[in-house]
Amino acid sequence: MEHIIKARGLRKYYGKKIALHNIDLDIGAGRIVGLIGPNGAGKTTALKGILGLAEVDGHLEVLGMDPHKQRTQLLEQVSFIADTAILPRWLKVNEAVEYVAGVHPRFNREKAQEFLSKTQIRRESKISTLSKGMITQLHLALIMAIDSKLLVLDEPTLGLDIIYRKQFYTTLLNDYYDEEKTILVTTHQVEEIETILTDLIFINEGELILNSSMDEIGERFVEVHVSNAKKEDALALNPLSVSSRLGGYTMIYENGNREQLEALGSLHTPSISDLFIAKIQPAQSWGQA
């Protein structure tokens, strides 16, 4: 299969409001893709379309299937983690494991138990008595025990402390991910996924602002630390964004001439969060420093 997700001209409107507008996407196997955007940008609508939970216009294939028409078959090969509140609080941990084993044909009970054995979660505990971090661990154990080809994560670590957030992504990489599986993740805590991503997608007001591999990001964008004395020379080269820093400015450029930029100051690869702000709020829209 050439692509895990293939979209052409994906559109969704709620009355006059544009949720998605002519989105084209190709996501292959073995990729970890960050889908980044502000609230209301269209991320949730895109995920619902991919999971077959909402109809969207245009052409969309996930694992070679139409998500809306073949949702039952698709969900046998796709896993989804959003807020852990979806787990019934009245269930015991071992009952949750047995339930998923009974309803999902690709669930491996032994694998789930092996993961849970590395935690402090007791099998007889009710989910209602677990901390949010432990509930997330349980949810992750259930999901990782499913032999799925696509894992969709929608703000999976929201509300967790930094230790549990770190454990979540470490476990995901070590115990789930391989070159045959694809992970699509949305989060506002972009600094925590920056080092694990293979691809980056920015979406804003229903439109794709950026769709690139992380390798291409380093080649295409550069952050320059500019002194006060070289401010005007740097502005003349049309940066995407400008922000003040101690002793000067930080400017981000797209497809800039690196020889020219090296004469202005030290070069760096911009962080995802800084690059995102630069792309959706370009310098000319809020005034250059």
Residues 233 and 196 in one domain: no
**Contact in structure between 67 and 60 (CB atoms under 8 Å):** yes
pLDDT value of position 229: 94
Task: Say if 174 falls within a structural domain.
Answer: yes
pLDDT value of position 161: 83
pLDDT value of position 247: 86
**Which secondary structure element, helix H or strand E, spans residue 200, and what is its range?**
strand 199-204
Task: Say if 211 falls within a structural domain.
Answer: no
Residues 90 and 227 in one domain: no
For residue 281, which of 13, 10, 29, 38 has the smallest C-alpha distance?
A: 38
Of 171, 205, 239, the residue that ends a domain is 205
227: Cβ–Cβ under 8 A, 6 or more apart, which residues?
247, 248, 265
Task: Say if 27 falls within a structural domain.
Answer: yes
Residues 156 and 231 in one domain: no
**What's the helix, strand, coil split of the chain in %, to 5?**
35, 30, 35
pLDDT value of position 179: 80
Domain boundaries, position 274: 216-286
pLDDT value of position 83: 59
pLDDT value of position 178: 81
Task: Say if 210 falls within a structural domain.
Answer: no
188 vs 277: CA distance, rounded Å: 12
Write out pLDDT tens, residues 177-215: 888 889 999 988 888 889 899 999 999 999 999 999 999
Helix axes 109-116 and 132-144, enclosed angle (nearest 10): 150
Of 169, 184, 205, the residue that ends a domain is 205
What is the secondary structure of 47-115 as a DSSP string?
A: HHHHTTSS--EEEEEETTB-TTTTHHHHHTSEEEE--GGGS-TTSBHHHHHHHHHHH-TTB-HHHHHHH
Cα angle 69-25-67, degrees, rounded to a multiple of 5: 10
Task: Say if 80 falls within a structural domain.
Answer: yes
Task: Say if 73 falls within a structural domain.
Answer: yes
The list of the chain residues with pLDDT below 50 reads 1, 285-289
Task: Say if 185 falls within a structural domain.
Answer: yes
Q: How far is CA 114 from CA 126, 142, 190, in A?
A: 19, 11, 30
Residues 83 and 105 in one domain: yes
pLDDT value of position 87: 79
Residues 188 and 65 in one domain: yes
Residues 169 and 36 in one domain: yes
Residues 140 and 280 in one domain: no
Helix axes 93-103 and 132-144, enclosed angle (nearest 10): 30
